[in-house]
Amino acid sequence: MELDMKRLPRHVAIVMDGNGRWARQRVKNRVFGHRRGAEGVRTILTCCGDLGIGYLTLYTFSEENWNRPVAEVRALWGLLEKFLRSELPEFLKNRVRLRHIGDNSRIPPKRLKQLLDVERETADLDGVTLTLALNYGGRQEIARAAKLFAADVAKGNYSAEQMSAEFFSRYLYDPKLPDPDLVIRTGGEIRVSNFLLWQLAYAEFYFTEILWPDFGRDDFLEALAEFQRRERRFGRTGEQVKNSQVPPEGFAADDWHPWGS
């Protein structure tokens, strides 16, 4: 598939949906589907590295996922342990930098330690930044950021008048993570499910019926091709976009990327 390498997204975020349904279609339990889905992460991560896409964020475990059966929740955290252990050599080889966003307070202590250890080992690598959203909720992230800012105001560090969208972003889980240019959701559902609610304000969305374990390199390339068929206006007219590369009002020059690259 022919892609314009100058118009690739800088940051792709994915809601990896459909593992359970994929397993049921094969008369297997849901954990089997999650296991197969974890294998697909390497395919998409490798593709991002090959294309020079700098950031990949995966919705790995939401705060709402704690409501699932206990055995499934336990298995999901076990899969994270296996994924980090098996993929670390690949991260080092391909210079992948691992990060995570979410509330650390409910992440099982052993998994959190392992996660932080891998983050430290890959902190200085300069390939794809892979961010795992773990025990994550978009509303919860926004509420947390508001509380942190309010605490700073109470301490006299800032005044309420200093608040702006750009300033507020400093209080997110990872302030240095650029907003996603493209959000992909597999599995046929058309909703965001509390994922990156603040960050996806100007993201392009791509929904597909393909279940996550079946979502491969060609499917990812098709999503990128569809992204390149879009005109990203950021509130402006199409004519303004064609005639100017100046960032729209409210976008810093260093952070605004009309095509994400």
Whether 53 maps to a domain, the answer reads yes
Whether 147 maps to a domain, the answer reads no
Whether 185 maps to a domain, the answer reads yes
Whether 170 maps to a domain, the answer reads no
SS3 96: coil
d(CA 15, CA 197): 13
CA-to-CA separations, 104 to 13, 107, 145, in angstroms, rounded: 20, 5, 15
DSSP-derived letter for residue 248 is: P
Identify the H or E element spanning 110.
helix 109-122
Active-site entry in 4, 29, 50, 65: 65
d(CA 123, CA 5): 27
Structural tokens at position 29: 């339990």
Please confirm, yes or no, whether 152 is among the known catalytic residues. no
Q: How many CB atoms lie within 10 A of CB 257?
A: 16
Whether 95 maps to a domain, the answer reads yes
CATH number at residue 49: 3.40.1180.10
Whether 81 maps to a domain, the answer reads yes
Contacts of 210 (CB under 8 A, 6+ apart): 18, 186, 187, 219
- pTM confidence score: 0.90
Whether 244 maps to a domain, the answer reads no
User: From first to last of its 261 residues, what are the pLDDT tens digits of the chain?
Assistant: 689 999 999 999 999 999 999 999 998 889 888 989 999 999 999 999 999 999 999 999 999 999 999 999 999 999 999 999 999 999 999 999 999 999 999 999 999 999 999 999 999 999 999 999 999 999 999 999 999 999 999 999 999 999 999 999 999 999 999 999 999 999 999 999 999 999 999 999 999 999 999 999 999 999 999 999 998 877 666 666 566 665 555 555 555 566 554
Please confirm, yes or no, whether 17 is among the known catalytic residues. yes
Domain range spanning residue 95? 5-137+179-230
Q: Per the structure, how many domains does the chain have? A: 1
Whether 202 maps to a domain, the answer reads yes
d(CA 223, CA 155): 46
